[in-house]
Structure 1
């Protein structure tokens, strides 16, 4: 509910304050008095663009402040999502500083215009003959039928699950795109990994491998010299081994002559034994070396491959190559996992879709049942609003796909004269007709759901007589369930207000200024009498004004 509005330095307004109460408030005034200026000021806190030509005094800032009671609105989540402090009494403020720059605030916290607009238009709904676009909005059509069908809980459940579905679909799309982008990279990673094939890096000692390759590179020379050496040691009769045996035999003859000679004899025996062992090990080494000759190329290729990989990946150790290999394995494995992730998400998506179709079908059934109820009430209102020949028709079909409002496709069709065909509202209804249609719809909706405060800006223009009284009654009945503010030139409508403001102009020494006044009972009689008869008040006009007020 709008509790208060303050406007300072806007167009012809120097400074005004208005306090509002529940029910219906009438705002009247002569043409040109500034009623549209009042609405223009309010539009600033609803996020409208600033028209700097409306800022008359360029030396002081313009501001508009609106105070709302948000008790009946479920807005805590909105405040939380926008990092705002929730207050039951919420203040929307818009300032235009002398430089022309605009700033917006909610409860003294700076916000961007989009946030201000969303909150402002949730709290108050403005309708004029030139501004009834919500009637043509698809979401509004669904809201009408869902309100009559008492579908609110189903709608909330559907929207939550639908948002979940869209999030999962986005996630699947993102993963599929990433998978597509990584396909080429994956092929390259597989190619890189294939280069590691045949290398058991964890078991390779690079220094040992280098020694083996070096050893085999000089195999022929090693074998030639080694065979000669072994032959020199083992040749019968002339080999070093036999000669040592001969030396020992000779020393044996004299070893008893002194302890020193015995010591020499033992040393020669030790040398012979060591030489025998050494020669045996040497021969075994040569045999093993000869057997490795067949692996020479394999060892060389392994070492060359290691050097090549180190150079390619710009590393210097086996451990670093092992790390690169493991990283390639992980990337390839992760790429394969995309399919598993997509499969799991797809199952989740299908489960949500199935649940959504169930809810959508329930919504559709409720909407179908609510259509005749709504049409009957609309046609009754049309008769009251002087639109006896007007009819409304609602076509509803099922979509094969899930939409953000379910699986219902809804068309509101209208005809204003007998013998004509039904068509879309925007194609055949005039501004005045659309305004009255909106009034009729809002009056019906106010019985089924809590609506935001509503301002009707001269939507009763062009009606008269008994229709004026019917329009007034509709607005008044609406005000029992919601706050209604109406800017009007029609006395029947003005008289229904629980409160009544008059907008007027006065002139000071240099300029014309718009002001506003809350009327008491006597003032209201005079104002409505003037609306009935013109500026010249007479007894009959006052009597009729009293009748309307009573």
Structure 2
């Protein structure tokens, strides 16, 4: 339940702090006094968006802070998932900065607006006049039936089955569309694949072929230079390697007399070994290099084929060309295996459809089961609210196709007159009649939904007299289970409240301020009297106000 509300620098409010209690509270005040401002401020801590226009003083931030008792409403896991400390008395704070940006906190932990909205959906229901329009929306009507049916578990099972079925049918459509497209290109893809596959491409061979082509193209030059080097190193004329043997012998003769001699000798020995190995490699390579025109032609032709295909497929490497070939193979395989894939997918869809039908029928059963009680309770209360001929029928039909929320098309059909034709509520109901229907629905939901708090923002529009008195009684009945706050302009409802708050406006020389306070029983008599007769109080009005208050407390 809502324990308190603190508002500063918001619209016409400098600063107010209000404590609320359980049961039925009413908020009254003259038109324009700021009742809607209080509600607007509360909506911010419940996750609604705002901007800098709400600031009374544009140079200061606005702070709205609400304290809720959340004991027993299962918020622990939700708070833990968001790394927010759980407190039985949870504080939600919203700050609107002068820059227009806003910040939100739950128990002093920064949170996003999505989290605030998630909390508020389980904490409070604010009914404003425009919500009466929901009476004509099938989605709202279905929500009413589901709330009374308390079928969350069954509905969640259906939604999971629907998601599975929808995902599989979507996959089939995509597969069919993809296959149609691939079939249009199948012949050309097959031609491209064969063209690439016939080359038997091997990753890395392009570099090897390019190197071999260079060697074959310059075979004579390579052999000539290699032979020259062998002659220099080991030929009879120069015999560099033989000379190194002589150098090594000469160093051996003096190594006993100079300290560097042994090291020099070792270095010459190492050079001798390296050069000897080099000569052997040069001779081997010289023998292997042959001028082979046929091999050169083969290498050049293969490289030309590779280059041409790289250009054709707009790639710059052999590995990329191999990837093109493999992708073509996969796409061709998809075409070949399409029939098998569709058969398997259809089996999955059929299985999912069976499950969906079962869960859909179970969901329909939960809804059908409560329809009669919904009709009976709403019509019974409408009779008490001065509509003796009211009829309300919850019309349920099967949908042609499965939908996200089930296989049920639910419509509330209404008539206020004995012989009136049943039709959609907004088409046949006046503003006052819609207010009464909505109050009855809210009374129904308040018991079933289990919300801690409900706020009625002038739900009494278009009614008066005995009807207003009965609306107040219904709100009292709802308040026996949850906290009810009603913003009202009718004395018949105001006297029903256990607690009475007054919103008022003050004008200074430079500014206008709105504020709110809980009023005493004595001041309450005066306030009710003003609601009855206007600002010119009479003894009759005061006496009437006392009588109304006395009757409401019996």
TM-score between the two structures when normalised by the length of structure 2: 0.71
Residues of 2 paired with 1:9 and 1:469: CA distance?
37
What SS does the corresponding residue of 2:126 show, helix, strand or coil? strand
Give the drift of 1:64. Answer: 2.5
Q: Deviations over 1:402-435 (max 9, x none)?
A: 1122111111111122332111112222222212
Q: Is 1:486 matched up with 2:486?
A: yes
Corresponding position of 2:414: 414
> Do the aligned residues in 1 keep the contact of 2:154 with 2:363 (CA within 8 Å)?
yes
Q: Is 1:313 matched up with 2:310?
A: yes
Corresponding position of 1:516: 516
Corresponding position of 2:66: 66
Residues of 1 paired with 2:16 and 2:323: CA distance?
75
RMSD: 4.0
Give the drift of 1:32. Answer: 2.9
Q: Is 1:495 matched up with 2:495?
A: yes
Residues of 1 paired with 2:421 and 2:132: CA distance?
23
More deviation in 386-395 or 507-516? 507-516
What SS does the corresponding residue of 1:444 show, helix, strand or coil? helix
Change (3 A) 1:189 1:78: farther
Q: Is 1:349 matched up with 2:346?
A: no
What SS does the corresponding residue of 2:480 show, helix, strand or coil? coil
Residues of 2 paired with 1:56 and 1:321: CA distance?
68
> Do the aligned residues in 2 keep the contact of 1:501 with 1:516 (CA within 8 Å)?
yes
Change (3 A) 1:330 1:167: closer
Corresponding position of 1:546: 550
Give the drift of 1:499. Answer: 2.6
Change (3 A) 1:317 1:520: closer
What SS does the corresponding residue of 1:547 show, helix, strand or coil? helix
Q: Deviations over 1:18-61 (max 9, x none)?
A: 22233222112233322122122223344555475553322212
> Do the aligned residues in 1 keep the contact of 2:413 with 2:424 (CA within 8 Å)?
yes
Corresponding position of 2:253: none
Residues of 2 paired with 1:84 and 1:186: CA distance?
55
Change (3 A) 1:542 1:340: same
Corresponding position of 2:40: 40
Q: Is 1:458 matched up with 2:458?
A: yes
1:367-382 paired onto structure 2 within 5 Å = 367-382=367-382
Residues of 2 paired with 1:461 and 1:323: CA distance?
72
> Do the aligned residues in 2 keep the contact of 1:146 with 1:363 (CA within 8 Å)?
no
Residues of 2 paired with 1:431 and 1:90: CA distance?
38
> Do the aligned residues in 1 keep the contact of 2:390 with 2:415 (CA within 8 Å)?
yes
More deviation in 343-352 or 318-327? 318-327
Give the drift of 1:486. Answer: 0.3
1:113-128 paired onto structure 2 within 5 Å = 116-117=116-117, 119-128=119-128
Q: Give structure 1 stretches of 5+ with no counterpart.
A: 215-295
What SS does the corresponding residue of 1:489 show, helix, strand or coil? coil
Corresponding position of 1:358: 358
Change (3 A) 1:327 1:32: closer
Q: Deviations over 1:469-520 (max 9, x none)?
A: 3111111111222221101123332233233222122344432321111234
> Do the aligned residues in 1 keep the contact of 2:310 with 2:318 (CA within 8 Å)?
no
Give the drift of 1:437. Answer: 0.7
Residues of 2 paired with 1:132 and 1:342: CA distance?
49
Change (3 A) 1:318 1:524: closer
> Do the aligned residues in 1 keep the contact of 2:67 with 2:90 (CA within 8 Å)?
yes
Change (3 A) 1:310 1:517: same
1:80-479 paired onto structure 2 within 5 Å = 85=84, 87=86, 89-99=89-99, 101-107=100-106, 116-117=116-117, 119-176=119-176, 179=179, 188-196=188-196, 304=301, 307-313=304-310, 325-326=325-326, 328-333=328-333, 343-451=343-451, 453-479=453-479
Residues of 1 paired with 2:523 and 2:337: CA distance?
79
Residues of 2 paired with 1:64 and 1:19: CA distance?
14
Residues of 2 paired with 1:79 and 1:160: CA distance?
25
Corresponding position of 1:282: none
Change (3 A) 1:345 1:393: same
> Do the aligned residues in 1 keep the contact of 2:431 with 2:461 (CA within 8 Å)?
no
Residues of 2 paired with 1:198 and 1:540: CA distance?
104
The structure with the largest alpha-carbon Rg is 1
Q: Give structure 2 stretches of 5+ with no counterpart.
A: 217-293
What SS does the corresponding residue of 1:313 show, helix, strand or coil? helix
Corresponding position of 1:291: none
Q: Deviations over 1:194-243 (max 9, x none)?
A: 114555667x9998xx99xx9xxxxxxxxxxxxxxxxxxxxxxxxxxxxx
Change (3 A) 1:116 1:137: farther
> Do the aligned residues in 2 keep the contact of 1:4 with 1:66 (CA within 8 Å)?
yes
More deviation in 55-64 or 103-112? 103-112
Count of equivalent residues: 462
Change (3 A) 1:459 1:310: same
